[in-house]
């Protein structure tokens, strides 16, 4: 009986496979199919880059509406997740001081979406693409199970899944932009 299908918070199917004696995967499938994946991977990463730039601009604006200089100096060495957390903290106080208290609930939704976008981007950016198999599963990371055995997490990242995630990122970017417009942060 096949194991039940498992999905992450972004709705992407994954499976875990234990380490055999050696860490090895067959790269033949990916070598034959790279042209089906390269455009989708690139498009998703470009879309994420646009979202991160929008986030950077929003942080810089909250720090100073006169120039992006100080804001960019502050965030230049921060990870994406750190920027999301900083924006959340700064925007909450901004909304309360500016009298936009009704928008705090929307901010929470946008923070959830920004975190989800980062997780999807990390799957794609850090995947071991040469491990792609015929079912579309690609290795993303190693961890230990409860008995301390090494196991690998494989996500099903077919061209269609990548396209769907790219569209989701595009929607998150568009909605975040509209939110920023509604609170005069762009």
Q: If the chain, 186 residues long, is cut into consecutive pieces of 10 residues, what is the mean pLDDT of each piece? A: 76 91 84 94 98 97 92 96 98 91 94 98 96 94 92 95 98 97 79
Distance CA 116, CA 76 (A): 22
DSSP 8-state class, residue 128: B
Judge whether 150 and 138 are in contact, CB under 8 Å: no
Bridge partners of 19, per DSSP, are none
Distance CA 146, CA 166 (A): 34
What is the pLDDT at residue 2?
56
Bridge partners of 7, per DSSP, are 13
What is the pLDDT at residue 185?
67
What is the pLDDT at residue 26?
83
What is the pLDDT at residue 3?
61
Sign of torsion, CA 82 87 89 90?
positive
Q: Which residues contact 76 (CB under 8 A, 6 or more apart)?
A: none
What is the pLDDT at residue 1?
47
Question: What are the structure tokens assigned to 42, written together?
Answer: 């690139």
Q: Which residues contact 140 (CB under 8 A, 6 or more apart)?
A: 14, 123, 126, 127, 128, 153, 154, 155
């Amino acid at each position: 009986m096949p194991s039940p299908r498992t999905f992450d918070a972004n709705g992407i199917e994954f499976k875990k496979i234990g380490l055999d004696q050696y860490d090895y995967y067959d790269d033949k499938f990916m070598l034959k199919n790279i042209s089906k994946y390269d455009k989708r991977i690139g498009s998703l990463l470009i879309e994420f880059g646009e979202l991160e730039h929008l986030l950077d601009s929003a942080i810089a604006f909250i720090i100073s509406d006169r120039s992006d200089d100080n804001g960019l100096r502050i965030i230049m060495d921060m990870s994406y997740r750190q920027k999301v957390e900083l924006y959340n903290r700064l925007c909450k106080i901004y909304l309360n001081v500016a009298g936009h208290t009704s928008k705090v609930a929307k901010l929470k939704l946008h923070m959830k979406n920004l975190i989800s976008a980062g997780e999807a981007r990390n799957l794609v950016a850090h995947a071991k693409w040469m491990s792609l198999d015929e079912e579309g599963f690609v290795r993303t990371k190693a961890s230990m199970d409860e008995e301390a055995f090494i196991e690998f997490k494989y996500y099903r990242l077919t061209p269609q899944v990548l396209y769907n995630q790219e569209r989701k990122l595009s929607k998150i970017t568009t909605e975040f932009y509209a939110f920023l417009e509604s609170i005069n942060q762009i």
